[in-house]
Structure 1
Amino acid sequence: MKNLLLAALLTLVALNFSACSSDDDETTVILGDWKKVSQYEGVARNSAVEFTLNDKAYVGLGTDGVDKLTDFWEYTPGTNTWRRVADFPGVGRYLAVAFAANGKGYVGTGYDGVNKLADFWEYDPTANQWTRKADFGGSARYSAVALTINDKGYVGTGFDGNSKKDFWQYDPLTDTWTVKPSFGGNKRLGASAFTIGNVGYLMLGSNNGTYETDVWSYDPATESWTQHRDLVLHDDDDDAKDYNFSAVPRQNAASFAVDGKGYVVGGTNSGNLISCWAYNPATDIWYQKTDFEGSARNYAVGFGIGDRGYVALGLNGTTRLDDTWQLFPEKESE
């Protein structure tokens, strides 16, 4: 009888352990399915810009290693096709910024190989036409970041001979730039940014050779910045538990927002990266997604349309890239 009771107890323990293990596995499943989609139709390049309008992405500028480019291309996810649109009329450049606001796209700043730039241009997708607008309100620079909040554009950080941390708002209705409060972190270039709801997020980059891990949000309603949890490794659940894993800083990463979460993909930290991280603002937690399945790269572009994210172009060593990849954030990798 004792042996039978002991056997029954051991079986019960084993079943409970198995159930717990299954639950734990579910909370640590790394989701995200990458699929290669239509190749970018222009020449391979790095340090391009992108903006999205009407469920289409517009990608252009950058460098092919020799020329500073001015061509622009429109990507339509519904048909998985690229179409050339009007060339950018300003000087060819790379490491510029772009954003969309009030139904138009805006492109400016950057580097033409000799000069740091401050000019800004508006793209009208209906007329397929570019118009020069007011120059950027800050100093001429490159490697800045840009984002859109409530139909206004924001540009900050970058390098004008020194690393910067200023932050400027562009109003497309009045064609004016207004300086806004700067965030509390260090100066930087090669940072990442995305917008979730009515809040903009700025993070990462490097400052005098030091990779930053801090994350900040800007609320235009109060013109205030809030510091959030650094980009570090966390368990893939919503319990807000910090397991004290190592930090994963980077610069020149691709970034985008999809379904209320922000994403950072690739970039460089003493070597090109393929890791993909998602940020949940409701829990202030970063969690790991499936690694990017293309070549490791930096200076890529990222954009979100609908429920999918995209990463395209970039630089791997001395190789410029022209592939485009689509991320289904909540699917298991196939």
Structure 2
Amino acid sequence: MTLQLPLVSGVSNTTLLPGSTITISGQYFNPALANNQVLLDTAVLSVISVTPTQLVVKGDNVSMSDMGNLTVKTGKDLVTVVQGNYGVYKYLTPKNNFPGPARFGATAVAIGGNIYFGLGKSQVTDYALADWWKYDPNADKWTQLASCPVASYIVNSFSIGTKAYVGMGSGLLFDNSFWCYDTSADTWKQIASFPGTYTIFPVCFSSDKYGYMIGGSQDTPNALTNTNDVWRYNPVTDSWQQTTSFPGLPRGQAMGFTLNNKGYVIGGAAQTGGSDPYIADAWSFDFATETWKQLSMPPQYVARSAGFAFSAQNKGYIGGGLVTDEGGYPYVYEYDPVADSWTLKEKVFAPIKLFSASVSVNGIGYIITGEAYFGWYYAGSQSFFQFKP
């Protein structure tokens, strides 16, 4: 039998999610299942059924997400390429877009199995936002709540118990004020202002008792200066106290998460004076003793800033981030605290690589809004993704 060049007349979907299939319609597909090969960019998909006019494929076998053209091979020199932005997803999968305005520099915290999200800088108006939302993962539902009294973006935030704490950031006001959001009453209350130097881009995380701010960039008379200060907020006394300094290089825009009663600080940008300011190191902070420990050296590509980070299913994850002055890094790394080791886990395509908000609930990570490439003006997105290891 003489085979002809395969012709593709249609593809049932541009997105291939875990557990789903897409159907490729056309002519001259090879009737022998094993002789058909379908690639999405470089990822080899599984062909699960074939007729001369139809191929059904799935992507559960791929090692990580990919995006690009579809290539159909039915024999030697019988290759057809379908141009387009086709995507196969592994761990990081898209959800319906966030329903509020597109933005970057927003913040998110997890409280009581829900995500509280808001603020940021509007893509449309280029002004700071004050809106505040709740996302219920079980119902897959967004609800708009009482707005924060102050519009801001790139804020410092953490949660303790049933309350969220938000402060400083950039906007109309550049001051040290902090605000507390009560989830039970849907109300905001101003709390004790941060007593140190005005700071942006720290790592923020919390134990069950305290909130912490680590490092960041301080507003000094001549320029922003990185610090390794560590501050602790006590909600019982409504007070701040400086505690054990971070032992690594002073840095801003590092990434952090909490896992097993410890906080983690990964990467960031240091003021090295060289052409490559990004740091490839990792540290843990024991909440019980308030002591620091340096972890195994991450891969060099973990040297980045302004990416997303969260913990899920007893592992830590960092993704996206700046590795040059403009580009967003398209990979996610997994940290195993038991083995103290790093593994390349996933690839990122959506505009969530930079200045997104990230958090985890019930073993699933969520990344909300952000950018694909660095832009400080009229930038942002409504993208909403979940990461399920």
TM-score w.r.t. the length of structure 2 is 0.70
Structure 2 residue 363 is the aligned partner of structure 1 residue 299: no
Task: Supply the distance in 1 between the matched residues of 2:158 and 2:206 (Cα, whole angstroms).
Answer: 6
Distance 1:230 1:118, change over 3 A: farther
Alignment of 1:2-17 (within 5 A): none
**What is aligned with 2:133?**
73
- Runs of at least 5 residues in structure 1 that lack an aligned partner in the other structure: 1-27, 233-245, 330-334
Task: Supply the distance in 1 between the matched residues of 2:227 and 2:250 (Cα, whole angstroms).
Answer: 5
**What is aligned with 2:287?**
220
Structure 2 residue 168 is the aligned partner of structure 1 residue 85: no
The total of aligned residue pairs comes to 287
Per-residue CA deviation, residues 202-261 of structure 1 (Å, 9 max, x unaligned), is 1211012610111111113222110011221xxxxxxxxxxxxx4431100111111211
Task: Supply the distance in 2 between the matched residues of 1:87 and 1:295 (Cα, whole angstroms).
Answer: 25
Q: 2:255 aligns with which of 192, 196, 200?
A: 192
Task: Supply the distance in 2 between the matched residues of 1:295 and 1:122 (Cα, whole angstroms).
Answer: 29
The one-letter amino acid of 2:315's match is K
Structure 2 residue 193 is the aligned partner of structure 1 residue 135: yes
Task: Supply the distance in 2 between the matched residues of 1:130 and 1:54 (Cα, whole angstroms).
Answer: 18
Alignment of 1:22-171 (within 5 A): 32-65=90-123, 66-90=126-150, 92-112=151-171, 116-160=174-218, 161-171=224-234
Structure 2 residue 242 is the aligned partner of structure 1 residue 174: no
Task: Supply the distance in 1 between the matched residues of 2:333 and 2:340 (Cα, whole angstroms).
Answer: 13
> 1:187 offset after TM fit, Å?
0.8
Per-residue CA deviation, residues 16-55 of structure 1 (Å, 9 max, x unaligned), is xxxxxxxxxxxx9569522211311211111111111011
8 Å Cα contact 1:97/1:146 also seen in 2: yes
> 1:163 offset after TM fit, Å?
1.0
Per-residue CA deviation, residues 77-103 of structure 1 (Å, 9 max, x unaligned), is 11111110110012x211111111022
Per-residue CA deviation, residues 249-304 of structure 1 (Å, 9 max, x unaligned), is 11001111112111111111111122011111111111111212424621011111
Identity %, equivalent residues: 29
Secondary structure, aligned partner of 1:183: coil
8 Å Cα contact 2:211/2:232 also seen in 1: yes
Structure with the largest fraction of helix: 1
Per-residue CA deviation, residues 49-90 of structure 1 (Å, 9 max, x unaligned), is 111101111111110251111111111111111110110012
**What is aligned with 2:86?**
none
Structure 2 residue 380 is the aligned partner of structure 1 residue 320: yes
Per-residue CA deviation, residues 135-161 of structure 1 (Å, 9 max, x unaligned), is 123211211221011231111211123
TM-score w.r.t. the length of structure 1 is 0.82
Q: Indicate the structure whose relative CO is greater, using CA pairs within 8 Å and at least 6 residues apart.
A: 1
Structure with the largest fraction of strand: 2
Give the root-mean-square deviation of aligned CA atoms.
Answer: 1.8
8 Å Cα contact 2:233/2:240 also seen in 1: yes
Distance 1:247 1:315, change over 3 A: closer
Of the structure 1 ranges 276-285 and 208-217, higher mean CA displacement relative to structure 2 is found in: 208-217
**What is aligned with 1:23?**
none
Distance 1:221 1:177, change over 3 A: same
8 Å Cα contact 1:117/1:142 also seen in 2: no
**What is aligned with 1:309?**
365
> 1:106 offset after TM fit, Å?
0.6
Task: Supply the distance in 2 between the matched residues of 1:29 and 1:197 (Cα, whole angstroms).
Answer: 28
Task: Supply the distance in 2 between the matched residues of 1:221 and 1:310 (Cα, whole angstroms).
Answer: 27
8 Å Cα contact 1:261/1:278 also seen in 2: yes
The one-letter amino acid of 1:223's match is E
Task: Supply the distance in 2 between the matched residues of 1:227 and 1:175 (Cα, whole angstroms).
Answer: 31
Of the structure 1 ranges 115-124 and 283-292, higher mean CA displacement relative to structure 2 is found in: 115-124
8 Å Cα contact 1:137/1:168 also seen in 2: no
Task: Supply the distance in 2 between the matched residues of 1:231 and 1:108 (Cα, whole angstroms).
Answer: 31
The one-letter amino acid of 1:77's match is P
Task: Supply the distance in 1 between the matched residues of 2:174 and 2:257 (Cα, whole angstroms).
Answer: 24
8 Å Cα contact 1:274/1:296 also seen in 2: no
Structure 2 residue 313 is the aligned partner of structure 1 residue 259: yes
